[in-house]
Amino acid sequence: MSSTRVISVDFECRIPRKLEEALEALNEEGSQVLAGGTDLLNNIKINAVKPSRLVYVLGIPELEFISVEGGRLIVGAAALLSDIEHNRQVVSRFPALVEAINVIGGTQIRNMATLAGNLCNASPGADTPPILFVLDAEVEICWTNGGTGAQRSRLPVGGFFTGPKKTVLKQGQIVHSVSIPLPPEHSGAAFRRLARVSLDIAKINCAAYIERDGDTVHEARIALGSVAPTPVRAPTIEKALDGRRYGGGLFQEAAELVEEDIAPIDDVRSTAEYRRQIASLLVREALQEAWRRSGGKG
Amino acid sequence: MSDKTYYFLGKDFPRKEGRARVTGREVYPSDVVLPGMLYGKILRSPRPHARIKSIDFSGAQKLGAVVLAPNDTPQEFFNVRQVSVPRSTYKDWRILSDHVRQVGDPYAAVAAETEELAEQAAEAVQVEWELLPAYFSIEEAMAAEDNLIHDKVYLQDKEIPIQNNIACTREVTEGDVDKGFAEAEVIVENEFVTPRVYHCQVEPRGCTCRPEPDGGITVWPSTQALHNTRILLGQLFDIPLNKVNVIRITGGGHFGSGIHTNPVILITVALALKAGKPVKILQSREEDLYDHCRYPTRYTLKIGAKKDGTLTAGQMKAWVDIGSHHVQALAFLGVLAGWWHSLYRLPNMRYQGVAVYTNKAPTCAMQGYGAPQVTFGVETTMTILAEKLNLDPIELRANNYVGLGEIFWGQGPTIRSLIHSDGVKELLYTGAEKIGWDKRPDPKAQSGRLRRGIGVARGFHTSGTGAPVPGEVKDFTTVQVKVNEDGSIDILTALMDHGGGTLDAAAKLVAEEFGVPFDKVGISPADTRSTGYDVCTHATRGVYCGAGAVLDVAQDTKKILLDYASRILNAPADSLKTRPDEAENEGIIYVEGMPEKNITIREVAQTAMNNDWGTAISARSVRKVNCPPAYTTFFVEVEVDMETGMVRILRVVAGSDAGTVINPALAKGQLEGGFYRGAGMALLEDTDYDPKTGQLTNRGLLTDYKMLGAVDLPDPEKFEIFFAHTYEPTGPMGAKGIGEAALNPVPAAVAAAIHNATGIWFTKLPILPEDILRAVREERKRDGKKAPGKPQAVPER
Ligand SMILES: Cc1cc2nc3c(=O)[nH]c(=O)nc-3n(C[C@H](O)[C@H](O)[C@H](O)COP(=O)(O)OP(=O)(O)OC[C@H]3O[C@@H](n4cnc5c(N)ncnc54)[C@H](O)[C@@H]3O)c2cc1C
C-alpha cells in the first residue's frame, strides 16, 4: 500500500547553476531530472521510482527561454507551462497549444510544471503530445560525455515515445527544448479532450492540424492520447483527407476511420468501449475547428 | 424560517472560530505536536484476506522503533461505534488482529522519532502470510461456507456464529402487504444500486496520545464523539474514566467518518502506552481511503398504488456490502426501513435487509446515513408512478408525504415521534415555481445533441434521534452555562461542531435568551474530564438536540441570574426582561413596563459575587424527546450531451424546512455543500475494487478518486436557495436540523433531471457518461420499438 505522507527514501538533490553541471550530475546511474516535480514527486511518493539523486533543472539559464528563431518557436525545458500559455508569440500563433496547456492541472500546477516534463513523463494520456505531434514539433536532446561540452541531437516528437512511461532518453540525456515550426498561412489546429471532471487527466484527447488549399484539405494531421500505449497519430484518417474537397460530411466520414488507428483499454478513468465511441466525435470536432481556423468556410 | 424577529437568530455574524481558521491558527488533529513525541505508522495488509504466519520486527527494532504486534493489544472484541445501546451492538473488532480482512487492514504498528524513520521501520517489518480466499461481491461472499471473513462475533456479550458471511439481517413489517398489493392498480418495481462513496473529509483521520504519570492518558483525536471515544478507551485499556481525558479539537472534516472511534485512535493509544511516550499518527490519504466509506446498497423496491395515486403497499429487499467490519450495520439496516417508511404513507410495508461482509473497507455513516440511498429509489419510483398514472409528480408527492400530525421514524423503527411542523408543500410549490416546473421539457419531444431536463426530488432527515420512548440509539447532551463576573457567558459542553456552525448556533441561542451581545457568549474548550456525556454530533442533531440542550440549561442559569437581579431591583423575577445593549456591549435586565428600572448583567454578577450569593451557573443533561424531520426539496436542471453522455448541471433550486434558521449563511452553505456531494454521488463518486489484487482500482490515490470541482458546479447565481416559513414548536426557538437533509434528495433529483432530458431512467449510481452513452445507443438501436421512459437498469461497468 502506498502512502504519500512523507518521502521515506533518501536522495541527494542537486541544484546546478549551469547546464554542463547538470548534465554531468545526471550521468550517474540513479540520477533523474527534477523539473516542476508535479509528476516526479508523486511517483517517488508512491514508490513507483526510487532515484538516488535528483537534479533540479528549473532556473538553469540555458534552459529557461521561449523564443522564435529561424522560423520556429523554441521552448526551453525550464520554461513553465504558465509562461508558455501567456507568451504573446504562442498565444497569437499557437492557439491550440494554449488550449492543450490550459487544461493541465490548475494554475498552481501550471506555475510549477514544464512542457518537457509533460513529454518526458511519457503518460499515454498527457495533454501536450497530440498537439505537438500534429504541429510537427521536434525534441532537442542533450547530454555530455564529460569535458566535451553539451552534445545535442534532434528528433521528431513522434519518435520520442517508446511505451507507457518510456521514452528514447538514455541515462544522462535530457530534453533541452521543444521546437515547433511556425504554422504557414491557411493552416489551423485545434485540441479537444474529455475528462471525468475539469481537473483531471484525459479520458481521451485529440489534436488536428489542417493546411488548406482553397476548399480542399492540402494536408491533415491527427493525433490522439489515452487510446494506445503512447500518444498516436491517425494515419488512416490523414490519408482519407489528403487532397479532399471540404463538404459532404467529409470530416465525419474520415473521423469514423479512427478505430483503425487506436487500441484503447479499460482503466480507472474510462472504458475501451467508451473511448472508441467518442474518439471519432472528438476527431471530427477537432478537424472542424482546425478547418475553421485555417480560414476554411463551412 | 419563522417570521418572528430576533436580536441574533437569522442574522449572520463572523464565526467565532473564523479568524483562527482563516489565519491558520486553528489547531486541527494534524497540528498537535507534543514535546518528546514519537511518530507512529500503521502496518496495513497488502492482501485482501490472510492470516499472519510469522512476523519479524527485528529490522524495525534495529532502527530504534517501538513496535506493536496484535498480541501487544487487548484481544477483546468490541464495536468502534457506540451510539447504539449495548443490546443492539455487534462486536467484531480488535485493535490489531493477525487475521487481516481487507487490503489496508491494520495488523501492526511502529513508532519512531521522525515520520521518515517510522516509515522506514514499517518497511523493514517482514511478514509471511497465509492467504485466504477473498470475496468482493455479495454473491461470492454469501456463497462461501468456510474461510469466512469472521467466524464469530458477539452481540453484546453473546457469541454469534457467522454463516455465509452474513453480518446481520433485519425485517420490518407493517400492515398486510399481500392485501395491499392486491388492492393496487399499478405496481412499479425496480432494482436500485448506490455507490461506495468515500467521505473525503479534508483532513485524513489521526490522533495524538500522551500517557500520563498517573497511569492515565490524554488524547487529541479526530472524532465526532468525544465521550464515546473516552468510554471505549477506558474499557479497552482498563483505565478508570477519570484518568482518560479526550480533548476536543477542531476536526478537519468528518461527514460521518468520525462517529465511530477510528482504529487509528486505538492504535495510537496502544503505541503510546507501549512506548511510554506521546505518539502521533496521522493517516495518509491512501490509508484513509481504505479506512471508511459510505454504505453501498442494492435493493429491489416495489410500490403499489391506486389510480388516484394513493399508495397501497410497498416491499423492499436490500443487500448491503458492509466490507470487512461491522460499524453497526444493524442500525443501518434499520434506518433504511425508517427513511423509506417516513417518506410516504404506506399502510402496508415489508422490508428485509441483509448486511454481508466482504474484503473491502469498512462502511459507516456518511451524510444522510442511508437516506440518500433510499430516497434515490423511492423518489425515482414516485416519478415513474406519477408518469404511469398521468399525475403531476409534484401532486403525487404532495398527496402522499408523511407530514404534520403523523408519526415519523427518526432512526429506524425504534425511534418514533410525532411531526409538529411541516413545510413540505411550501417547498414543493415554491420550488416548482422558481425552476419553471410547468415548462419543463417533454423528453419525447427533444431532439438534437444537447438536451435539457428538469428533475425534482424531496426528502428529509431526522433532527437527532430523540423520541418519547428511548430506542436503540442513545441521545442526550450535557451542558454547563455560567455567567461571568463581567456579564459575559461561557458555554461548556462536549458537543462537537464539524464546521456547520453548531456551536455558533448554541452561542446565538444563548445570546438571544440572555439578551447579551453575541460577542459576549463564549464556547469553552472542552474535554471529557470537565464535561458530561454527549452522544456525538451525528444524525443532524447538532442544533436541535445539542444546541437545544444548551438553550435549556441557559434558561436554568438565567433563572438564577434573574433571581439575583430581582433582589437588587426589588422586583419579582418573573417581571424581569432582558435585552442587549449593543452600544454599551452589555446585557440589560429591566422591569417589564418600567424600562428605566434596569441593571446590567455585569452589575448583577458582580453584586452576586461581592455579596457571596454565588455564580449564576447550572449544568445538567438534556434529552430531546422528539426528532422532527427537517425537510428539503431539490429541483435540478441539467444538460445532457447525447454524443458523449456528459451531464452539465445548469441550475439548482434548493428549498429547506429547517424551522427557525439560526445561521442563514451557514445554512445556505449546508445546502450548497449537500448538493455538491449529492451530485458527486449521482454522477461520479465511487470506490471500486480490483478482485485480482484486492486493491482499490484508484489504488487509494486521490488522483483517481474524482469529485466535482467548483468549475463543474453551476454558477452561484444559478443556485437558488429558499427556506420554508415554519416554526418547530419542540425545537430551540423554533429550529430543527438541516445538514444531512441537504444531501438526501440530491442524487434522486439529478437522476430525474437526466431522465427528463434523455427519456431514460438510470437506477444505478453513479450515472457515468459511459453508462448514459451506452443506454442512449441501445435505445437508438431498439429503434423506438419500446416506449421511451422505460426504466433501464444499467449493466455493470
Ligand atoms: C493535480 C495535477 C493535475 C495534473 N493535470 C494534468 C493534465 O490535465 N494533463 C496532463 O497532461 N498532465 C497533468 N498533470 C501531470 C503533470 O503536471 C504534467 O505532466 C507536467 O507537465 C509535468 O511537468 P513537470 O515539470 O512537473 O515534470 P516533473 O514531474 O519534474 O518530471 C516528470 C518526468 O519527466 C522527467 N523530466 C522532466 N524534465 C525533463 C527534461 N528536461 N529532460 C529529461 N527528463 C525530464 C523527470 O525526470 C520525470 O521523470 C497533472 C499533475 C497534477 C499533480
Query: Considering the entire predicted model, what is its pTM?
Result: 0.96
Q: Omega into B766 within 30° of 0, i.e. cis?
A: yes
**Mean pLDDT score across all residues of chain B:** 95
Summarize pLDDT for B131-166 with one digit per residue, the tens: 999 999 999 999 999 999 998 899 999 999 999 999
Q: Which residues line ligand 1 (CB under 6 A)?
A: A 32-40, 57, 77, 103-105, 109, 112-114, 116-118, 120-121, 126-127, 169, 174-175, 201
Q: And the C-alpha cell for B445? A: 419531444
Residue B522 and residue B525: Cα distance in Å, rounded? 9
Sign of CA dihedral A224, A228, A229, A233: negative
Q: Which of A11, A39, A64, A196 is the pocket-test mutation for ligand 1 (most atoms within 8 Å of CB)?
A: A39
Q: Does B51 score more than 90 pLDDT?
A: yes
Q: Structural domain boundaries of chain B? A: 18-25+476-622, 367-467+626-783
Between chains, do A2 and B770 touch, taking CB under 8 Å as contact? no
DSSP letter at B441 equals: P
CA dist B646 and B767 (Å) reads: 10
- The label of the residue with cell 516526479 reads A40
Shortest CA distance from B43: residue in chain A: A1
Q: What distance in angstroms lies between residue A163's CA and the mean position of ligand 1's atoms?
A: 16
Provide the residue count of chain A. 298
Q: Is B128 helix (H, G, I), strand (E, B) or coil?
A: strand
B45, closest residue in chain A (CA to CA): A1
HEC assignment per residue over B47-114 = CCCEEEEEEECHHHHHCCCEEECHHHCCCCCECCCCCECHHHCEECECCCCCEECCCCCEEEEEEECC
Ligand 1 atom 21, closest CA = A118
Quote the pLDDT of residue B795.
Answer: 41
Contact between B250 and B17 under an 8 Å Cβ cutoff? The reply is yes
Domain range B18-25+476-622, CATH class: alpha beta
Please compute the mean of the pLDDT values over residues B759-784 and round it to a whole number: 93
- Looking at domain B367-467+626-783, its CATH class is alpha beta
pLDDT single digits (tens) B281-331: 999 999 999 999 999 999 999 999 999 999 999 999 999 999 999 999 999
Contact B147, B359 (CB under 8 A): no
Give, in degrees to the nearest 5, the angle at Cα B81 between B79 and B82: 95
d(CA B581, CA A213): 81
Q: How far is the CA of A122 from the centre of ligand 1 (A)?
A: 9
One-letter amino acid for residue B531 of the chain: T
Q: Which triple of cell numbers denotes residue A148?
A: 566535451
Is B770–A4 a contact, with Cβ atoms under 8 angstroms apart? no
**How far, in Å, are B117, B410, B520, B703 from residue B470 at the CA level?**
50, 12, 36, 45
Backbone angles phi, psi at B481, to 5 degrees: -125, 130
Encode burial over A142-165: b for 16+ CB neighbours within 10 A, e otherwise.
bbbeeeeeeeeeeeebbebbeeeb
CA B657, CA B738: separation in Å to the nearest integer? 8
User: Does the beta carbon of A268 lie under 8 angstroms from any beta carbon of chain B?
Assistant: yes
- B684 in A contact zone (CB under 8 Å): yes
Q: Which residues, including other chains, have CB under 8 Å from residue B111's CB and lie 6 or more apart?
A: B38, B39, B40, B41, B65, B66, B68, B118, B271, B272, B275, B277, B279
Residue B604 has pLDDT above 70, yes or no: yes
Contact B62, B126 (CB under 8 A): no
**B539 closest CA partner among B656, B621, B626:** B626
Judged against a pLDDT cut of 70, whether residue B711 lies above it is answered with yes
The answer on pLDDT for B440 being more than 50 is yes
A149 CA to centre of ligand 1 in angstroms: 27
In this predicted structure, what is the pLDDT of residue B793? 42
Q: Where are the alpha helices (DSSP H) in chain A?
A: 19-26, 40-45, 81-86, 88-93, 95-102, 107-110, 115-120, 129-134, 235-241, 250-255, 272-293
Strand (E) or helix (H) holding B462: strand B450-462
Note the helical H segments in B370-470. 371-389, 393-400, 424-435
Q: How many CB atoms lie within 10 A of CB B76?
A: 13
A46 CB neighbours in chain B (<8 A) are 699, 701
Report the C-alpha gap between B110 and B136 in whole angstroms.
30
Place of cell 430523540: B466
Bigger pLDDT: B305 or A2?
B305
pLDDT tens-digit profile of A228-257? 999 999 999 999 999 999 999 999 999 999
Q: Which of A109, A157, A165 to mutate to test the pocket of ligand 1 (most atoms within 8 A of CB)?
A: A109
SS (H, E, C) B528-588: CCCCCCECCCCCCCHHHHHHHHHHHHHHHHHHHHHHHHHHHHCCCHHHEEEEEECCCCEEE
Work out the number of other CB atoms within 10 angstroms of the CB of residue B134.
24
Interior/surface letters B160-191, b for 16+ CB within 10 angstroms, e for the rest: bebeebbbbebebebeebeebbebbeebbebe
| Beta bridge partners of residue A206, listed in sequence order | A192, A224
Question: How confident is residue A146, by pLDDT bands cut at 50, 70 and 90?
Answer: confident
> What is the number of H-type helices and E-type strands within chain B?
18, 35
Q: Decide if A10-55+62-183 and A187-293 have a common fold.
A: no
Between B119, B699, B777, which is nearest A6 by CB? B119
Q: Please give the single-letter amino acid code of residue A47.
A: N
Query: What residues contact residue A129 under an 8 Å CB cut-off, 6+ apart?
Result: A118, A119, A157, A161, A223, A225, A231
For CA atoms B338, B341, B342, B348, the dihedral sign is negative
Q: Give A187-293's CATH code, choosing from 3.40.50.880, 3.30.390.50, 3.90.550.10, 3.30.2320.80.
A: 3.30.390.50
Region B85-104: mean pLDDT is: 96
The answer to whether the CB atoms of A1 and B700 lie below 8 A apart is yes
Q: How far is CA B259 from CA B244, B369, B414, in A?
A: 19, 11, 20
User: Which whole number is the average pLDDT over B601-614?
Assistant: 98
Contacts of A201 in chain B (CB under 8 A): 703
- B471: pLDDT strictly greater than 90: no
CA–centroid distance, residue B711 to ligand 1 (Å): 23
* CA dihedral sign, ordered A276, A277, A280, A281: negative
pLDDT of residue B787 exceeding 60: no
User: Looking at residue B797, what is its pLDDT?
Assistant: 34
**Which contacts (CB < 8 Å, 24+ apart) does range A48-52 have?**
A50/A9, A51/A11, A52/A11, A52/A12
Q: Does A248 touch chain B (CB under 8 A)?
A: no
Look up cell 479506512; give the residue: B291
Determine the length of chain B.
797
Q: Report the C-alpha gap between B420 and B323 in whole angstroms.
A: 38
Taking domain A10-55+62-183, whether its CATH number is 2.60.40.1180 is answered by no
Alpha carbon distance A165, A160 (integer Å): 11
pLDDT at B790: 40
Q: How confident is the model at residue A150 (pLDDT cuts 50, 70, 90)?
A: confident
| Interface contact flag, B119 A46, Cβ < 8 Å | no
Residue B519, Cβ neighbours under 10 Å: how many? 15
Residue B784: predicted pLDDT: 59
Instruction: Please indicate whether the domains covering B18-25+476-622 and B367-467+626-783 agree at the CATH topology level.
Output: yes
> Whose CA is closest to atom 27 on ligand 1?
A117
Which of the listed residues A38, A170, A191 should we mutate to test ligand 1's pocket, taking the one with most ligand atoms within 8 A of CB? A38
Please give the share of chain A, as a percent, with pLDDT higher than 90: 93
Tens digit of each residue's pLDDT (9 = 90 or more) over B635-683: 999 999 999 999 999 999 999 999 999 999 999 999 999 999 999 999 9
Whether residue A9 is predicted with pLDDT greater than 90 in this model: the reply is no
A193 to chain B: nearest residue by CA? B644
Whole-number Å distance between alpha carbons of B561 and B483: 8
Measured between CA atoms, the residue of chain A closest to residue B768 is: A196
Rounded CA gap, B512 and B530, in Å? 26
Domain ranges of chain A: 10-55+62-183, 187-293
- pLDDT of A195 higher than 50: yes
**A42 vs B contacts (CB less than 8 Å):** 703
Q: Which of B719, B754, B750, B748 is nearest to B640 (CA)?
A: B754
Hey, what's the cell of B657?
424546512
Do residues A114 and A77 make contact, with C-beta atoms less than 8 angstroms apart? yes
